[in-house]
Amino acid sequence: MKICIYGAGAVGGHLAARLITAGHDEVSLVARGAHLRAIQQNGLKVFRGEEIYTARPFAATDDPSSLPPQDVVLVTLKAQALPGAAAAIERLLAKDGAAVFAVNGIPWWWNKGTNNPQEHLECVDPGGELWARLKDRSLGCVIYSPNEVIEPGIIKTAMGDRWVFGEPDSAPSSRVDRLVQAFQAAKINGVAATDFRYDIWHKLLINCGLNPVAALTRLPTAKMTASPEVRAERCKVMLEVLDVALACGTDLRGKVDLEELVAPKKRPGSNMASMLQDVMAGRSLEHDAILGQVVEFARQHNISVPRCELMLVLLRGLNQQLMDEAAART
């Protein structure tokens, strides 16, 4: 298959290196800036536990129109960057190609396969550009894989990653099966979802209790875990999200251990949550996909989520400050 990783930063770069190393597919990258220049000059290097992956892509570019049509476009951009890339992603797809959106939060295609099949989510897809162009050509992906670009072209990741793929309506799919087979052939833990919306809410529960708090406190995971007060507040945020998920048709109550999600024993080390990485780098934040749409759902169902609402307001303010500072530097 021809596979393009669209947005080959920390997550996409890690994935690209492992797919390229397996050698089964033609893998191209869309990236930008110093990270792209390093990849073009030296290839990718990924540290994963004791494993080291070094790989050179078939092509690496900041111009997706320079690539041939792709069988799979794995989109690893942050959610807030997706609407602006909709047209380029559509043009990049081969006739029977599929775009796979591996992003945090409530995905833009959420209403596909629901009772609101004609409505886009304005919070995460302003104007409905993604919905209009890609709703019938897309798959979703829930990622369990912390990654960090430690310098351009070099990525640190963790063992035990998992990539869950699904159709928006969770139906069995040859598109999903083909993608899972490609991942498994590369010795990557790719699986097909049996209840994709459960998987989305489960990961979102973790993100809502982790990323906003990390961004606002600037604490790495070990220091958040070490504070009983921070752990307690994170659990309270997650309890609000459980109520919203239930109102939207997914019941996670009694199926998740909030304390384990807040301080996972299976992954006891420390890292910087992705939103904290964005704060430290002065990049825009994916607050609307992670919290904004949750708050919108809560309002639609008349559910009180004061902690989510407060953090959303604070994150939007922080995001504006980051964007003002970025503009001042240019």
CATH number, domain with residue 242: 1.10.1040.10
Is there a single domain that holds both residue 187 and residue 55? Answer: yes
Is there a single domain that holds both residue 85 and residue 136? Answer: yes
Is there a single domain that holds both residue 43 and residue 165? Answer: yes
Tell me the average pLDDT of the chain: 93
Percentage of the chain modeled with pLDDT above 90: 82
pLDDT of residue 58 exceeding 90, the answer is yes
Is there a single domain that holds both residue 138 and residue 32? Answer: yes
Distance between CA atoms of residues 250 and 165, nearest Å: 18
Per-residue pLDDT of 81-120, as tens digits, reads 999 999 999 999 999 999 999 999 999 999 987 777 678 9
pLDDT of residue 237 exceeding 90, the answer is yes
Query: What value does the mean pLDDT take over residues 317-323?
Result: 97
* 185: phi then psi, degrees, rounded to nearest 5: -65, -30
Q: Any idea of the CA torsion for 273, 122, 171, 197, to the nearest 10 degrees?
A: 40
pLDDT of residue 208 exceeding 70, the answer is yes
Distance between CA atoms of residues 300 and 62, nearest Å: 39
Give how far Cα 295 sits from Cα of 41, 289, 304, 310, 314, Å: 44, 10, 9, 10, 14
Query: What value does the mean pLDDT take over residues 64-92?
Result: 96
Is there a single domain that holds both residue 59 and residue 74? Answer: yes
Helix (H) or strand (E) run with residue 204 in it: helix 196-217
Is there a single domain that holds both residue 19 and residue 165? Answer: yes
Q: What secondary structure letter does DSSP report for 68? A: P
Q: Which two tokens stand for residue 126?
A: 């302003």
Query: What value does the mean pLDDT take over residues 161-181?
Result: 91
Per-residue pLDDT of 125-138, as tens digits, reads 999 999 999 999 99
Is there a single domain that holds both residue 130 and residue 244? Answer: no
What is the domain count for the chain?
A: 2
Among 167, 194, 221, where does a domain finish?
Answer: 194
pLDDT of residue 328 exceeding 80, the answer is yes
Among 178, 194, 210, where does a domain finish?
Answer: 194
pLDDT of residue 268 exceeding 70, the answer is no
pLDDT of residue 266 exceeding 80, the answer is no
Tell me what pLDDT residue 136 has.
Answer: 92
Per-residue pLDDT of 19-36, as tens digits, reads 999 998 899 999 999 999
Tell me what pLDDT residue 125 has.
Answer: 96
Q: What is the largest CA-CA distance in the chain?
A: 54
Q: Which amino acid is at 220?
A: P
Domain residues for the domain of 128 are 2-194
Is there a single domain that holds both residue 236 and residue 143? Answer: no
Q: Do 236 and 307 contact (CB within 8 A), yes or no?
A: yes
Catalytic center residues: 203
Q: What secondary structure letter does DSSP report for 69? A: P
Query: What value does the mean pLDDT take over residues 256-272?
Result: 78
pLDDT of residue 267 exceeding 80, the answer is no
Helix (H) or strand (E) run with residue 34 in it: helix 33-42
In the three-class reduction of DSSP (H, G, I as helix; E, B as strand; rest coil), residue 67 is classed as coil
In the three-class reduction of DSSP (H, G, I as helix; E, B as strand; rest coil), residue 62 is classed as coil
Among 194, 215, 250, where does a domain finish?
Answer: 194
Tell me what pLDDT residue 261 has.
Answer: 87
Tell me what pLDDT residue 24 has.
Answer: 86
Is there a single domain that holds both residue 157 and residue 25? Answer: yes
pLDDT of residue 269 exceeding 80, the answer is no
